[in-house]
Amino acid sequence: MICKVIVDISNGEVDRIFDYVVPDGLEVNKGDRVLVPFGNKKLEGFCIDTADKSDYDEGKLKQIISRLDEFSCISEEMLALMRFMKEKFYLRYIDCLRLFIPGQMRGGRVRELKRLYIELSPEFSDEERKKMIPARARRQLELVEKLKEGGEYLSVVTEEFGAATVNALVEKGIINKTDKPVYRKPYDALNCEENKVKLTASQQNAVDKILGGDKTVSLLYGVTGSGKTEVYMNAIERVLAQGKTAIMLVPEISLTPQMLRNFRARFSSGVAMLHSGLSQGERYDEWKRLLTGEARIVVGARSAVFAPLKNVGLIVIDEEHDASYSSESNPRYNTCDIARFRAEYNGGKLVLGSATPSIESFLLAQKGEYALVSLPERISRHGMPRIEIENMSQELICGNNGIFSRRLEAELRKTVESGNQAILFLNRRGHSSFAMCRKCGYIAKCEDCDVTLTYHSVDNMLKCHYCGKRYKMLTQCPECGSKEIRYGKVGTQRVVQELEKMFPGVGILRMDNETTTKKSAYLDILGAFKAKEAQILVGTQMIAKGHDFPDVTLVGILDADMSLYFSDYRSAERTFQLVTQVAGRAGRSDKEGLVILQTYSPSHYVYRFAKNYDYLGFFGKENNAREVTGFPPYSTILRVLMTGEDDEAVKTCAKNMFVDVRAYELENKHEFLFLQAMRSPVARIEKNYRYQILMRIKREYEAEVTREIYRIIDQNKTRGVSVFAQINPQSMS
């Protein structure tokens, strides 16, 4: 027999299927991991198919050395998913397969814990057992009674009944002793109080529509605090009752103990958790519990979409608009596409939930491709907190050039004095910044793309990330002539320093990338704030979601504009989402909340809609703008990124590929909206030079053009140059 094997080679350019002969006496099935000779090495690989004959000379084929696991780890479904991912995202087979198993399995590093386990032998009936055990052997009879409810680990039983009792029963053959793997269950010790509520009519309706409708995908649009989590949990319960399984995805940052506790409480050990806080061993065990069907629900971040579950009845993507669902480093993939593939493959359902759905998803819902399910009201009778907008240009005119507006400072003082808490939010994304006039709020934009320019300090230029055009730095505002141009950004550290001066003795916590390099630090800081060890929390994106702080009555957004003018066609959308989310941190209990938003562009439509929590109004306006400017979802941005240490080689590869793409464009009537080859905005990262070909094409040609682009990439493979393809990338740097 012949095995088709994908060998786990680290060389980034090999993506072939190799034939191996299965030696007599070895059984290998589709989906098994195997050890094979490769060159002069022994490498691991995956058997993705078997055949009676090979197209090659079988005499020359090598033999499989061994099968690596006692179980098959890649299902038929995952093999199909692998093919889908290769075609859709231009990934190598092996890069897909690596995503499907815990990293620790590679290189044989897994150690399974095993313990002795005993259970009643099914050979004997109650009657027979009575005859075999003397009536005076009370302990033996008691143990039999206990084991009728199910097996138990030997050590546990011995402790209670003593070794003699156990041995007596083993000798008679009444109980069997076996080895059984012990799974490390993270969060086993979580306090599991079931908190079951009765669904409201709209929640019930949402569950019915998600599971009962004729569409595979539903968009659950529900304002913050509308009880979406209950909807998910109830839908999952129903799916389990039908004997199916479920996948619940949340952004990594929302995987708080609180969230995990809710699921543990409702589903006890039937739920497995996959997140970055787990040890390698725990991760493997959770994966294995899913593979064997011991756990039928997985809760996790992005990568949990690859959980080895069979017969998936429901996949939930909570906070579907979150950028973390798109993997931006190799292997690059989009979680929603994968989830949809799995839902369709299994005849299951996919639900995308959000208070601020992405423009793309909401448009699909409007067009009827997704079922639109709404939860328009908060569960609690308190409304959303009031949002006030502070004009920072006005502050400047009045002589205040500090970080805080006078109004925010006054409100902070009130909050601190009344013993309540405040959160101050700083908007930070990556390393980029823009040029802005502090007097009139003018922002430098690209003439051709209507996208904010990004300031690059390396060469002191402003660059458009969408067309590559470069502009000189501004020294004076072209609108009002002011020389007060701002490039820099205020850091969290400076904010804390200012606060310490203003409020000596008041506890202040800071949370950003620097203070949370250790994983536990994130939870420690949130825990300390919740315990009221500090009155003010200063932070970045990280504090935007998740936790409930009942005593927070004030939220300040210090520089909302940072994401508004981020060089990204989605920057208005991101800002709207951020403001809505951050605002949701205030006034969550009985106390009324206030949100103060500081901006240099107080009349911008994003703030107008965000202030009123008017998602639909915002969607209408933004959707229209995208249509007019020809940005996604009305077009598709394709970016082919080439990197390598030899500048000339990468450049030549980019040039050659560009010629082929241009030829294809001319041949094929449907003109691209944009096509250009250029150095990447960030020209070099870690010794690697970077070039890119950027394309914008009409949406309807997406599949056709991507296929062709992948073919062109394959044709132009160059030694020493890595090529990545991205569809609508989150970041263009």
Binding site for ligand ADP (CB under 6 A): 197-200, 203, 222, 224-230, 379
Residue with tokens 């076996």: 178
Longest dimension (CA), the chain: 103
CB count, 10 Å around CB of 265? 17
Name the minimum Å distance from CB 318 to ligand ADP.
Answer: 7
Residue with tokens 């809760």: 299
Lookup: tokens for 256: 């708080």
Lookup: tokens for 48: 């993705």
Binding site partner of 449, from ligand ADP, Zn ion, none, Cβ cut-off 5-8 A by kind: Zn ion
**Residue 442 binds Zn ion, judged by CB under 5 A:** yes
Which one of 307-315, 343-351, 371-379, 429-437 is the stretch in contact with Zn ion (CB under 5 A)?
Answer: 429-437
Q: Where are the beta strands (DSSP E) in 279-382?
A: 297-300, 312-318, 349-354, 371-375
Sheet of 18-21, strand order: 18-21, 2-7, 41-51, 33-38, 66-67
Q: How far apart are CA 497 and CA 26, in angstroms?
A: 68
| Binder among 467, 490, 528, 625 for Zn ion (CB under 5 A) | 467
Binding site partner of 197, from ligand ADP, Zn ion, none, Cβ cut-off 5-8 A by kind: ligand ADP
Name the minimum Å distance from CB 229 to ligand ADP.
Answer: 3
3-state secondary structure string across 134-190: CCCCHHHHHHHHHHCCCCEEHHHHHHHHCHHHHHHHHHHCCEEEEEEEECCCCCCCC
Q: Where are the beta strands (DSSP E) in 259-302?
A: 271-274, 297-300
Name the minimum Å distance from CB 421 to ligand ADP.
Answer: 19
Residue 542 backbone zone (phi > 0: left; psi -120 to 50: alpha; other: beta): alpha
Q: How far apart are CA 661 and CA 486, in angstroms?
A: 40
Binding site partner of 224, from Zn ion, ligand ADP, none, Cβ cut-off 5-8 A by kind: ligand ADP
Do 449 and 466 form a contact (C-beta atoms < 8 A)? yes
Q: How far apart are CA 596 and CA 67, in angstroms?
A: 62
Name the minimum Å distance from CB 616 to ligand ADP.
Answer: 17
Name the minimum Å distance from CB 333 to ligand ADP.
Answer: 26
Name the minimum Å distance from CB 353 to ligand ADP.
Answer: 8
**Bridge-partner residues for 153, per DSSP?**
117
Q: Using the minimum distance from each CB to ligand ADP, give the nearer residue, 375 or 650.
A: 375
Sheet of 722-727, strand order: 674-685, 688-698, 635-644, 722-727
Name the minimum Å distance from CB 570 to ligand ADP.
Answer: 22
Which one of 63-71, 434-442, 540-548, 561-569 is the stretch in contact with Zn ion (CB under 5 A)?
Answer: 434-442
> φ, ψ for residue 247 (rounded to 5)?
-120, 125
**Residue 440 binds Zn ion, judged by CB under 5 A:** yes
CB count, 10 Å around CB of 647? 15
Binding site partner of 332, from ligand ADP, Zn ion, none, Cβ cut-off 5-8 A by kind: none
**Residue 448 binds Zn ion, judged by CB under 5 A:** yes
Binding site partner of 495, from Zn ion, ligand ADP, none, Cβ cut-off 5-8 A by kind: none
Q: Using the minimum distance from each CB to Zn ion, give the nearer residue, 213 or 630.
A: 630
Name the minimum Å distance from CB 511 to ligand ADP.
Answer: 21
Binding site partner of 73, from Zn ion, ligand ADP, none, Cβ cut-off 5-8 A by kind: none
Q: Using the minimum distance from each CB to ligand ADP, give the nearer residue, 405 or 580.
A: 580
Name the minimum Å distance from CB 209 to ligand ADP.
Answer: 16
| Binder among 88, 289, 439, 574 for Zn ion (CB under 5 A) | 439
Residues 6+ apart with CB under 8 A from 254: 318, 319, 545, 546
| Binder among 101, 105, 295, 437 for Zn ion (CB under 5 A) | 437
Q: Using the minimum distance from each CB to ligand ADP, give the nearer residue, 92 or 545.
A: 545
Binding site partner of 41, from ligand ADP, Zn ion, none, Cβ cut-off 5-8 A by kind: none
Q: How far apart are CA 540 and CA 530, in angstroms?
A: 17
**Residue 480 binds Zn ion, judged by CB under 5 A:** yes
Q: Using the minimum distance from each CB to ligand ADP, give the nearer residue, 72 or 229.
A: 229
Q: Using the minimum distance from each CB to Zn ion, give the nearer residue, 17 or 467.
A: 467
Name the minimum Å distance from CB 316 to Zn ion.
Answer: 38
Q: How far apart are CA 94 and CA 86, in angstroms?
A: 10
Binding site partner of 65, from Zn ion, ligand ADP, none, Cβ cut-off 5-8 A by kind: none
Which one of 203-211, 458-466, 655-663, 692-700 is the stretch in contact with Zn ion (CB under 5 A)?
Answer: 458-466
**Residue 477 binds Zn ion, judged by CB under 5 A:** yes
Do 82 and 47 form a contact (C-beta atoms < 8 A)? no
Binding site partner of 225, from ligand ADP, Zn ion, none, Cβ cut-off 5-8 A by kind: ligand ADP
Binding site partner of 228, from ligand ADP, Zn ion, none, Cβ cut-off 5-8 A by kind: ligand ADP
Q: How far apart are CA 295 and CA 472, in angstroms?
A: 59
Residue with tokens 């003699």: 164
Name the minimum Å distance from CB 376 to ligand ADP.
Answer: 11
Which one of 311-319, 478-486, 597-605, 719-727 is the stretch in contact with Zn ion (CB under 5 A)?
Answer: 478-486
List contacts with Zn ion (CB under 5 A): 437, 439-440, 442, 446, 448-449, 464, 466-467, 469, 477, 479-480, 482
